[in-house]
Structure formats: structure tokens, C-alpha cells
Chains A and B, each alone.
Chain A
């Protein structure tokens, strides 16, 4: 494990239980006044994993992060890091380090002294701490700027200083609060890559709060999708994206169409649904058997549908509508279709699109195969995550 080398290098600053950065939240609740920011959450983040807490603003993801960090006290519940219960302990004893959204670099200190701050607080001598801080700055390739003040650095450089300042504490858990939100698009992608490789190199647990789906998918070993104080789904990025549990997750992650219908028949796992407009869908029900007459929601990936011109359709797994908008995305074209029951999005490869181009107002039929249908465990009420109904992602 790479982190062991840094442990050795720091000697006196090493902490106990360094090897175990597993985070366990048990019945964690945070109340502000009468409202719940976080409500009775259970979650285990394995040691050495890159975990993204994903959700819209106000869903409680930052509150969870701050409770793990020790900057917020839970109303009830327990937080374990490694094998110790950390509620009530200061950050340094927890073995966590937090990188703040705005980085919170101390404006009156040079970046060298910013990085050396932790060692200064531990009464490490001036020469010794500056030497170590310089080594840490070298790791983030900023040693040549050691005498600059934070205000003189670009956003990306500031972020690296903040990283160095956190890592000098030799944490077993690094907590990142929207670390990429202050950067422009180009820098965001670059720093995203750097964060991932840094985590690989250090082998410690990263917990990263974000509201951006591509960021979570690109980085995380484990994605935790949150909705108003609760966890909707926690799994690998692949599962979250392809097999969302709920309509909310499907919509929030984007890339999915959510359809709802009445169960007409259910034989041997093959479920037949009839939507409100008469369209018929088929799916393999994986979960509990859906009883005939009940409602069921399914999801179909936007890029797993085909598109053709046509007025109506009587085929199974097919829906008709009118093109509302087309948006060129380079490798594919996003075609938004208004159907009798709502909005349906087809991401058509550019080759297929330009072979038979459709425009706003054209009547089209989309279809997909049985195997591309995923059954959701919750019926779509349209209420949860309403703002994502027309999901632009």
C-alpha cells in the first residue's frame, strides 16, 4: 500500500488505525429545527474506496460529509471510522481531512505556510515543518510557487495547495466538498483525473460530494444517490447508471427514459405492461412478482432505442410521438420527443441520425428490444425529483 510509505516518512505525525479507513454510518440523523437534513441513514463505505455522495442541493450530502469530518454533530446515530466511534472527537483524532468547497486557504499565509499549518499546530520547528511542506508541495507539482500567496494562484493551483494541506495530516479518509465546482470545464476534467489517480496512489478512502452525475460516474467505486435526507441507492457507478432502483435515481442520473404502465400479464417473469396511451411494453421482472392490474415503472436507456419516421405504432416496446427538439452532441444527437404520456428522449448516433434526419414537428416512432428494459422497484409518481422530468443531462 502506497500510503504506508508516507506514514513512515511522517514518523511522529502518524496516527493509530492508519490501515483502516472504512466508514460506517449507523442510524445517522441530523435535524435542523424541525426539518431533517439527514434522516436515519445506514451506510458502509469500504476502506480505500472512492465514494461519491450525489444529489441535488439540499439533499443532505454535504451534511453527511461534515458529520464524518466532525464539523457537524449528529442529532442521533453513530459514525465509525475504522473500528472507533468518532462522534464527539476532533477531526485530527478521527484521521479525517477535509477539503473545503472554496478551499479555505488562509489568505495571510504563503502557500508553503498554508501547507505547513498542521505541523505548526503540532509545534514542529520552523525548518522541519517547511521542509515537509515543501516535499508535499512537490508532490502536487507546486514547489516552485511556495512563496506565493493564495490569491495569486489559479483555481486549479489553489485546489492542489488545498490537497497538499489536507494530505500533510496523513489522513486515512479524505473528505472533499464539491472540490471541482469552482473550476472551469477544462480544468474540472483535468483535476478529476488527478483526484482519481491520487486516490489510487494513496489507497486511502475518498468521500467526494457532488451534484454532477458525470463526475460521480467517472470517479466513484461507489455512488450514493441521495434525495432529501435519504439514500435512494448506493452501488457501483455501473449499477446505478444501468439498473437504477427508483424513477428518481433513473431521472437524476440521466440517460434513462422512465415509462409506467398497468401490468396486463405476468407469466414466468415476463411482464406485459399497457401504458395510458395504449402502448404495450414487455420486460423481465427481476424483483418481486408484479400482480396483474398493479402499476409498474420501467426504464430504457436513451442510447438503446432506435428511431424511425412514422405516425403510430402497434408494436410491443415501441412508442410514437412528435419531435420537440434536436440537439447535436458531436458523437450523437439528442432527440426529444413529445409522446401522449410525456417526454421521451432518444440519443441517436450521428451516423444513424444523418442517414434519416428528423426535425422538430416530425412524427416518429421509437422502439427498443426486450433485453434493454429495466424494471424499477418503485412506481413513478412523477413527484419525486420533478425538476428532472425533462432531464437535460
Chain B
């Protein structure tokens, strides 16, 4: 461990960090892969390895429930909820981003107020929202209180991303557009939005996945009908079949699909820019 320059073997820290990273990867993907494999269990199988008589029966069980919970119903709530959160997050983050480009009085205070909801514990927020709704005599549903609770989580992320993206956008693009006779609206539509579009996709991605996965903020705010994470949690307590694994596999695939669509559209846009049409 001499400090002198060396072109010899790698330092011991390399092996420590490599081992650490390997453990991390196993910890992250191992369970996911185990669930994926076990979701193909046969009819006589248990919840653990080995895999016997591989079949798709638990996927069938999932979509045509006999003993499991209302997975399809939960998905039909979670998906529109996530899409709604996504749309609102993009819309609010982008417009707020524009507003914050021109410094206004109280900007910092508003920024920290919005960001503060990141540190409020989700469950506490969930309880607070429920209590408030009860007090006002409103009933909690996934598309009212649930939507609000999810926005309180997704929006700060969207704002942070959009502020970073718009902060890097040189004002000279807007000035050049103004110089060339573009109105304010034309500048936004023809110049700013196309340039920051990859950032908007990133915000959309965050909005969707944060809502689709959300448990603590959903717990008390979605009302009598569960969203998907709540349904899975319920199933873990009363369903003891590999249908649980099948559900895990399906939701993971949906998440990956959303990420893949978002990332590939970003890559496509950037490739188009750097290589020409």
C-alpha cells in the first residue's frame, strides 16, 4: 500500500469495492429472479424451490381470480392513477420550472415548501389527509385523496428535475427566438419544449413509477378499494400460493416496460439531434 505511482496490480480497495458491488447486485436482482422463476410453479408446488411441473396456471389464477384478491381491479385503479400523477407532475413541474426561471419574490420560500413534502413521513401524511377528509365530510377515494397524496410525493422530484433541466437551458435560445419574431407562446412551443423534452420524459417516468409503487401514502388515502401495492400486501397476509409470484412478475414487467419506453424515447431524440434525421 505504498503511495508511490504503480502500474502493477490493482489496490486492495478495488477488490473490497468489487465484492461490495457484487453483493449489492445479488441482493437487488436475486429475489427478483427467484420470484420470476417461482411464478412458473406447477399445481402441486409450494412457495419455495424447487420448481416442479412448470406451468402458467398462476398467471391464469391472477387474471381469473378464484382464491386470490382483486388483482385486475387493483391494476385498473393503479394504472390510471399512475398516469394521472404522471400527467399532472409533468404539467405542474414544467410550468413551475418556467415560473422559477424568472426570479420572483418568495421563490425560495415556495421552492422549500414544495420540497419539504419529501421529508414528511408518508404514513403520517396519509393519516393527516384521511383525517382532513373525514373532518370535511369527504370520502377518501383513489382519484381524490389518493391522487393528492401521490402528487405530494412525485411533484417534488419532478420540480427538482425540471429546475435542473431548465437551469441548464441557455436563455439565449429564447432570446434568439424572440429576435426572429417568435411570440412568447411560439417560443415555448417551437423552441423550449422540444429542447427540454428529454427532461420532461424523465419527469413523467418519475411521476409514473413513484405513484405506481407507492405504499405508505396510499395506505389510508385510497379509500375502500385497493391500489396494486396495497393489494399485493393484502395477498401476502392471506394468499399462500405462487399467484403472489406471478403478480410480482407481472408488475415488474409493467415497470420495466414503462422505463424502457421512456429511456428509448430519450435516446431516440438525442440520436436524432446528434446524427441528423
Residues of B within 8 A of A91 (CB): 178-181
- Assembled-state Cα–Cα distance A102/B171 (Å): 11
Please, how many angstroms separate the alpha-carbon atoms of A169 and B124 in the complex? 59
Q: Does B178 lie within 8 Å of A71, measured CB to CB?
A: yes
Q: Is A267 an interface residue (CB 8 A)?
A: no
Q: Are A104 and B173 in contact (CB under 8 A)?
A: yes
One of B177, B197, B276 near A149 (C-beta < 8 A): B276
Whether A122 pairs with B181 at a CB distance below 8 angstroms is yes
**Interchain CA distance A120-B191 in the complex, whole Å:** 12
Beyond A90-B178, A91-B178, A92-B181, is A108–B195 a contact (Cβ under 8 Å)? yes
Bound complex: CA of A163 vs CA of B267, how far in Å? 30
In the bound complex, do residue B180 and residue A165 qualify as a contact, i.e. CB atoms below 8 Å apart?
Answer: yes
CB closest chain-B residue, reference A177:
B172
Residue of B nearest to A152 (CB): B276
Q: CB-CB < 8 A to A100: which residues of B? A: 172, 175-176
User: Is B274 interfacial (CB 8 A cutoff)?
Assistant: yes
A100-120 vs B, CB cutoff 8 Å, 1 = contact: the mask equals 111010111010000001101
User: Could you tell me the distance between the alpha carbons of A94 and B195 in the complex, rounded to whole angstroms?
Assistant: 28
Contact B182 A121 (CB under 8 A): yes
The reply on B277 being an interface residue by CB < 8 A is yes
Q: Is B186 an interface residue (CB 8 A)?
A: yes
Expressed in whole angstroms, the Cα–Cα distance for A100 and B190 within the complex equals 19
* A16 nearest CB across to chain B (Å): 15
Q: How far is the CB of B34 from chain A (nearest CB, A)?
A: 44
Minimal Cβ-Cβ distance residue in B for A149? B276
Instruction: Point out the residue from B183, B273, B274, B277 that lies within 8 Å of A147, measured CB to CB.
Output: B277
Q: A106, B191: Cβ atoms under 8 Å? A: yes
In the bound assembly, the distance between CA atoms of A165 and B172 in angstroms comes to 14
A165 to B191 CA separation, bound complex (whole angstroms): 15
| Interface residues in B, total, Cβ within 8 A | 25
List chain B residues, Cβ under 8 A from A96: 179
B186 proximity list for chain A (CB < 8 A): 121
Given known contacts A71-B175, A102-B172, A120-B190, A107 and B273 CB-to-CB distance under 8 angstroms: yes
Q: Across the interface, which residues of B come within 8 angstroms of A169, CB to CB?
A: 180-181
Known: A71-B178, A71-B179, A118-B181. A106 touches B195 (CB 8 A): yes
For chain A, residues 130 to 162, give those with C-beta under 8 angstroms from any C-beta of chain B. Answer: 147-149, 151-152
B260-274 contact mask (Cβ, 8 Å, vs A): 1 or 0: 000000000100111
- Across the interface, do B173 and A106 meet the contact criterion of CB distance under 8 Å? yes
A206 to chain B, nearest CB (A): 16
Which of B178, B190, B274 lies in contact with A152, CB distance below 8 A?
Answer: B274
**Residue A223 CB within 8 A of the other chain:** no
- The B126-177 residues at the A interface (CB cut-off 8 A) are 170, 172-173, 175-177
Docked CA distance A97–B172 (Å): 13
A71, A97, A110, A169 pick with most chain B CB within 10 angstroms: A71
Pairs A-B, 3 closest by C-beta atoms? A104-B176, A104-B172, A92-B181
Q: Which of B's residues lie within 8 Å of A, judged by CB? A: 170, 172-173, 175-183, 186, 190-191, 194-195, 197, 269, 272-277
24 example contacts (A-B, Cβ-Cβ < 8 A) are as follows A90-B178, A91-B178, A98-B179, A101-B172, A102-B170, A102-B172, A104-B172, A104-B176, A106-B176, A106-B177, A106-B195, A117-B180, A117-B182, A118-B180, A121-B177, A121-B181, A121-B186, A149-B274, A149-B277, A151-B273, A152-B275, A152-B276, A165-B176, A165-B180
> Which residues of A pack against B, CB within 8 Å?
69-71, 90-92, 96-98, 100-102, 104, 106-108, 110, 117-118, 120-122, 147-149, 151-152, 165-166, 169
